[in-house]
Amino acid sequence: MESTTFKRSKTTDFFYKLCYVVYFCGLPNFWLEELKLPKRFVRIYDKFTTFNNTLICFLVVFELASFFTQKNLTEKQKSNLILYGISHPMLCCFRLMLSRLQGKVKLVMYNLTVRLKAVHNDPEVERQMLRTTNMYMFALVFSCLMSMVMYAAEAGWEVVRYDVTFTTIVTAYPDVEDRSDLANVVRALCFVTWWIFLTRICSVYSLVIALTTCLSHQYKNLQSYFVSLDDIFEREDFSQAEKEEQYEKGFKVGIKLHSDTLRCTQQTQTVCRGVFSGQIVFNICLLVVLMAQMANSERTLVNLFAAVFTASAVLISTGFYMWNAGDVTVEASHLSTAMYFSGWHNCRGQSSVRLRKLIVITMSQAQRPVVLKGLGYIDLSYQSYITIVKSSYSVFSVLF
């Protein structure tokens, strides 16, 4: 955003810190202003980030090429090859899509953290939003880290038990049986690049989760605003006519806030559409592959933990997307009730007649469902999440 002056709050402080972390994890700066970093450091780090992103792209291409070069794979390695060959290109695209929409992400963040909070920012709603976002992000990052750790532990266990090479991800080179020094260096480089890739994945997920959580709580904040209008009629320093005038002005401000929130919802849909759609496809494909992997691979404790933590990471990431989107729908549906309890019944005479007409029209608008979608037509909701998880098992049953 061009303007760098805005009212600070716990929400803006949280998103600044999030953008700070996300920037160091390899994504662009999505904050409303420049981060408080030396310009020379930013120039050097941007080049370093570009280098790492290039390495990640090479890693993904290297993995896809292994479908044609690797012939001596075990059943477990073949399963991992399919797993990573499907997931890594999708996850890489998530980062590219958000980076390409940097300006629009900044606009959504400005609207959610500054513009829509300028008139009314309920401290309790803000506290709930921050607590929920932190809880979701911690659960997501923990599950992703444990998935990576368990796959590394699995590869280490294979080295100890069968005296094979330390192979976490299968690439075009080296061959899984190649024990040369160069092969070991390439494996180590791919392993480090894989962890760098994880930081990008967690950053994308954290950013989208934070935006959708903030959006759902904005509807809560809007409910709080309309309910607070009833307090105008409890003031003793205003006459009845002044109370009605203040109420009418406040209600019209609420209508404007509602309109801006709906517009912000559409902007969020535009920014997150690609990630939402890709996550649905990603969830179905990965769960099918993981179930096939568990059915066909050796049933050891390490293998089980690796599959369970990976499945948990997939389910949690998809769940947080769809649950937050479902919260947006639910909280938006409660808005008309908050409007009804805003205090219009305290008005008298012609003011009452005029305001009742305005409130009926506004409530009818608020009763229209607010739904975020994936793949253009799938409603993101609690029920859709269950359906997608069930469909993954159905596909597995049909194929295997």
Averaged pLDDT for residues 41-66: 94
User: At which residue do the structure tokens 């990630």 appear?
Assistant: 275
Provide the 3-class DSSP secondary structure of residue 373: strand
Q: Is the pLDDT of residue 297 over 80?
A: no
Q: How confident is the model at residue 17 (pLDDT cuts 50, 70, 90)?
A: very high
Q: How confident is the model at residue 2 (pLDDT cuts 50, 70, 90)?
A: very low
Token representation of residue 316: 């949690």
pLDDT value at residue 284? 84
Q: How confident is the model at residue 399 (pLDDT cuts 50, 70, 90)?
A: low
pLDDT value at residue 298? 66
Q: How confident is the model at residue 400 (pLDDT cuts 50, 70, 90)?
A: low
pLDDT > 90: percent of the chain: 55
Which amino acid, 27? L
DSSP conformation letters of 298-339? ---HHHHHHHHHHHHHHHHHHHHHHHHHHHHHHHHHTHHHHH
Say if residues 148 and 192 touch (Cβ distance below 8 Å). Answer: no
Q: Is the pLDDT of residue 239 over 70?
A: yes
Select, from the ranges 78-82, 307-311, 341-345, the one with the highest average predicted confidence (pLDDT).
341-345
Q: Is the pLDDT of residue 393 over 80?
A: no
Provide the 3-class DSSP secondary structure of residue 379: strand
pLDDT value at residue 83? 83
DSSP 169: S
pLDDT value at residue 398? 63
Residues 215-227 have pLDDT tens digits of 999 999 999 999 9
Distance (Å, whole) CA 18 – CA 32: 12
Token representation of residue 188: 């180590």
Burial 334-351 (b: 16+ CB within 10 A, else e): ebbebbbebbbebbeeeb
Averaged pLDDT for residues 310-317: 82
Is omega for the bond preceding 28 within 30 degrees of 0, making it cis?
A: no
Which amino acid, 106? K
Backbone dihedral angles phi then psi of residue 378, each to the nearest 5 degrees? -85, 120
Averaged pLDDT for residues 148-173: 85
Element (H, E) at 374: strand 373-374
Residues 170-211 have pLDDT tens digits of 889 988 888 899 999 999 999 999 999 999 999 999 999 999
